[in-house]
Amino acid sequence: MRNSLLKNYSDHAANERTYLAWVRTGITVSVFGFVIEKFELFVTELPRLAMGQSKDAILPSPEIRILSMLLVVLGIGVILLSTWHFVSTRRAIESKDFVAYNEVLPAYVLSALLSLAGIALLIGLVPLI
């Protein structure tokens, strides 16, 4: 006999797994924004230190700084939007009424924003001719 403490346990478990996957994605996007800024500083500083030049503080390029801040904000947005979706899905699972699933807009928004971030990174990697 299968007995669980939570009604619709498998639905709740699937919802939570999906939520945790989106949270991991949000954290990864935010960390990636932080890493590309620090990596650009490392790549810029390494030749200067190897040649014994001054150790004055150097800032990342404005483009990298903007891109890294956008990625951090995007990661936070992914976490917030996925939390909202998790809670609304949880309510729908617990509801006794029939709830039509029509919340595809958050998935489209997240996919579009992550795609735009990928395109921005690709443009940054391709040297302009």
| Cα–Cα dist 88/79, whole Å | 14
- Cβ partners under 8 Å of residue 99, min gap 6: 92
Q: Which residue has the higher pLDDT, 19 or 51?
A: 19
Global pTM reads 0.71
| Cα–Cα dist 34/89, whole Å | 31
Q: What's the mean per-residue pLDDT of the chain?
A: 80
Is residue 115 scored above 50 in pLDDT?
A: yes
**Count of CA atoms in the C-beta half-sphere (13 A) of 106:** 17
pLDDT per position as a tens digit, 50-108: 776 666 667 677 878 888 888 899 899 889 988 998 998 898 888 878 767 666 777 78
Domain definitions of the chain by residue range = 9-125
- Cβ partners under 8 Å of residue 33, min gap 6: 67, 68, 69, 70, 71, 72, 74, 75
- Cβ partners under 8 Å of residue 82, min gap 6: 19, 22, 23, 25, 26, 106, 110
Across the range 32-45, mean pLDDT stands at 80
What was the pLDDT predicted at 127?
Answer: 60
